[in-house]
Amino acid sequence: MLGGPSAEREVSLRTGAAVVRALRSLGHTVTKLDPQNGAGSWTLPPETDVVFLALHGTYGEDGVIQRELDVLGVPYTGCGAEASRLAFDKLLTKQRCVVTGVNTPRFVVFDSPTAPFPAGWQLPVVLKPVRQGSSVGLQFVDKAEQWSGALAEALRHDTEVLCEERIMGRETTVGILDDAPLPVVEVRPRSGAYDYQSKYTAGATEYFCPAEFDAATTARIQAAGLAAFRAIGGRDYARVDVMVRPDGVPSVLEVNTLPGMTETSLFPKAAAAAGLDYPALCQRMIELALRRATRMAH
């Protein structure tokens, strides 16, 4: 399943195309299904063994398609409906992190474009629509006069916006596969901010995998990623974005339950560093889903 009705449709089509090529190269029979209009706009081909979810954003990543597939009783790749719903909502994810003791940047939520800057806070801050992926609507506020414009812009993409302290540290991401962390990827945007442009423009960002941290710091980053994955009840795989403070303390930003799977995406990079090439990674994702289906059948 690829494409879908969300703001991330283009990225999802690219992810899906790469996955289809890989699965066909392994000899699988693959049907592309684009639920362009969301619920009720698609039917599964008969004899479907497993649904490979390459959908990003709303409908694909927020637990809705997962619930629909659960009702049909068809196995699908990745996290279940409830974990997907929690992870797609940045506020619910952060609340789960706080409850389970996972370090996450300080935050407050706004729903009005006229809200004043939070009392007692320092600049810089980051504004993120609570329920959008792929840095859609992300705003950086470095100066007081940017606040109201940035808040209004972020609120165009959702009814609630997360205001988060901006950690000026090193930006990393930890892939989780079958309940184990992959090598850490460090992300260094040439522009200074890892926004939508940096993410999807070739050459706009440098990636280092495995990231150059000492062994103890690497272990802490991986442990934080795994703890956040477990905090939302993740299964099979996900990618956890983690900022590393200058003192080496990791702080979890968010959990992506359907990480990008284009050839330039971070999750395949991490898997490759662990010795798993792209087709092998896709195969592993399918096997994890089928293993669950076998358990259910017994």
Sign of CA dihedral 118, 90, 240, 279: negative
Whether residue 112 lies in the annotated active site: no
Q: Which of 2, 24, 21 is nearest to 13 (CA)?
A: 2
Parallel, antiparallel, or unpaired for β 125-129 and 161-165?
Answer: antiparallel
* Known catalytic membership, residue 84: no
Q: Is the preceding peptide bond at 268 cis, omega within 30 degrees of 0?
A: no
Q: Which of 239, 251, 265, 278 is catalytic?
A: 239
Is 57 part of the annotated catalytic residue set? no
Active site includes 220?
A: no
Q: Is the separation of the CB atoms in 285 and 50 below 8 Å?
A: no
Q: Does the annotation mark 37 as catalytic?
A: no
Catalytic site includes residue 103: no
CA–CA gap between residue 285 and residue 279 (Å, rounded): 10
User: Are 164 and 138 contacting, i.e. CB atoms less than 8 angstroms apart?
Assistant: no
**Of 148, 200, 230, 287, which one is the catalytic site residue?**
200
Q: What is the 3-state secondary structure (H, E, C) of 49-114?
A: CCECCCCCCCCCCCCHHHHHHHHHCCCECCCCHHHHHHHHCHHHHHHHHHHHCCCCCCEEEECCCC
Of residues 171, 237, 254, 265, which has the active-site annotation?
A: 254
Select from 150, 174, 138, 166 the least CA-distant residue to 255.
174
Q: Using an 8 Å Cβ cutoff, are 211 and 184 in contact?
A: yes
Active-site hit among 8, 164, 171, 186 = 8
Nearest Cα neighbor of 105 from 175, 168, 152, 149 is 168
Half-sphere exposure of 91 (CA within 13 A, CB side): 15
Q: One of 80, 220, 260, 265 is an active-site residue; which one?
A: 260
CA 150 to chain CA centroid, Å, is 23
Tell me which of 134, 137, 164, 220 is the catalytic residue.
Answer: 134
Instruction: Choose, from 6, 84, 256, 265, the residue flagged as catalytic.
Output: 256
Catalytic-residue membership of 27:
no
| Catalytically active residues, by annotation | 8, 134, 200, 239, 241, 254, 256, 260
